[in-house]
Amino acid sequence: MLSPRYFFPRTKLAKCGKFCYIENMKRREYKLSIVVNGIHIKKVIVDPHYEERHLSSIDDDLILELVKTLDGEFHEQVDEKSPFKYFVKNEIEHDGKSYRLIWLLEDNQIYVGVVNAFRSKK
């Protein structure tokens, strides 16, 4: 899913009145140099999934700030579906607000894939 195919647009069905149409949702890639779980990460790929419910409180710039908090840390995976390992970081403080970041690492790759990000309650 997140290998080279990852960069193709994801398709979702959107409703507009009584008509439906297909809307392309493109994942976005950003350069970022951090070390996570001992892996030198060179980029972040953001899935636009968060936009479906959280667009009013979060954007890609904020997501990149949240990803930067992973630098130098080691995180236990919460799930694995080879070749992907899934992680959650809770209670990330930014500008007095708390956020949750759901992300993944792919075996033998140098990116963090952001699955979702949103404000969390303390």
Phi, psi of 105 (to 5 degrees): -125, 140
Q: Is the predicted pLDDT of residue 59 greater than 60, yes or no?
A: yes
DSSP summary character for residue 56: T
Tens-place pLDDT, residues 90-103: 999 999 999 999 99
- Domain 27-119: give its CATH code: 3.30.2310
Question: What residues does each domain of the chain span?
Answer: 27-119
The pLDDT-based confidence of 55 (bands split at 50, 70, 90) is: low
Tens-place pLDDT, residues 64-97: 999 999 999 999 999 999 999 999 999 999 999 9
Is residue 31 within 8 Å of residue 41, measured between CB atoms? Answer: no
Distance CA 47, CA 115 (A): 6
The pLDDT-based confidence of 119 (bands split at 50, 70, 90) is: confident
